[in-house]
Amino acid sequence: MNIIKRTNVIIALIVSMIAYSLMPGTPVISWPLSANAQEPHDHAEHADEVEDAAHEGHDHAEHADETEDAGHEGHDDHADHAGEESSGIKLSPATIREFGIETATAASGELRVELKVPGEIVPSPNYVAHVVPRAPGIVLRVRKQVGDLVKAGEILAVLDSPELSEAKAQYLARWQELELDEIDLRRAREISQNTQKALDFLKASPALGKLSDLEGLDLGDMRRDLIGSYAAMVAAETTLQRKQTLHEKNVASDAELQEAESAYKQARTEYIAARDAISYSNERKLIAAQREVKMAEISVKTSERHLHALGLDEAAVGEIAQQDDQALSRLEITAPIDGVVTERHLVQGEKVGTEDPAFVVASYASVWVYLTLYQQEINIVEKGMPVRLTLSGTDLAASGTVDLVSPEVEEETRTATARVVLNNASGKWRPGSFVTGRIAVSTKKGGIVVPKTAI
Cα 223 to chain centroid, rounded = 62
Q: What is the dihedral of CA 74, 76, 79, 80, to 10 degrees?
A: -110
* Percent of the chain whose predicted confidence (pLDDT) is above 70: 78
Q: What is the pLDDT of residue 447?
A: 66
pLDDT band at 16, cuts 50/70/90?
low
pLDDT at 221: 79
Note the pLDDT of residue 171.
93
pLDDT digits (tens, 9 = 90+) for 292-315: 999 999 999 999 999 998 888 888
SS3 state of residue 184: helix
Q: What is the share, in percent, of the chain residues with pLDDT greater than 90?
A: 44
Lowest pLDDT segment from 63-77, 131-145, 365-379:
63-77
pLDDT score of 411:
87
| CA atoms within a 13 Å half-sphere pointing along the CA-CB vector of 240 | 17
* Average pLDDT score over residue span 411-425: 92
3-class state of residue 120 by DSSP: strand
CB atoms within 10 A of CB 219: 21
pLDDT of residue 439: 94
Which of 86-95, 147-156, 339-348, 400-409 is least confident?
86-95
pLDDT for residue 156: 95
* 429-444 per-position pLDDT tens digit: 999 999 999 999 887 7
Angle at 310 between CA 326 and CA 324, to 5 degrees: 15
Cα distance between residue 252 and residue 239, in whole Å? 12
Predicted pLDDT at 38: 37
How far apart, in whole angstroms, are the C-alpha atoms of residue 267 and residue 231? 9
Q: Average pLDDT of the chain?
A: 80
Q: Residue 10 — pLDDT band, cuts 50, 70, 90?
A: low
Question: Mind giving me the DSSP string for 35-75?
Answer: GGGG-SS-HHHHHHHHHHHHHHT--HHHHHHHHHHHHHHHH
List, for residues 154-205, the tens digit of each pLDDT value: 999 999 999 999 999 999 999 999 999 999 999 999 988 988 888 888 888 8
pLDDT band at 80 (very low <50, low <70, confident <90, very high): very low
Question: 243-268 pLDDT, tens per residue?
Answer: 999 988 888 888 998 999 999 999 99
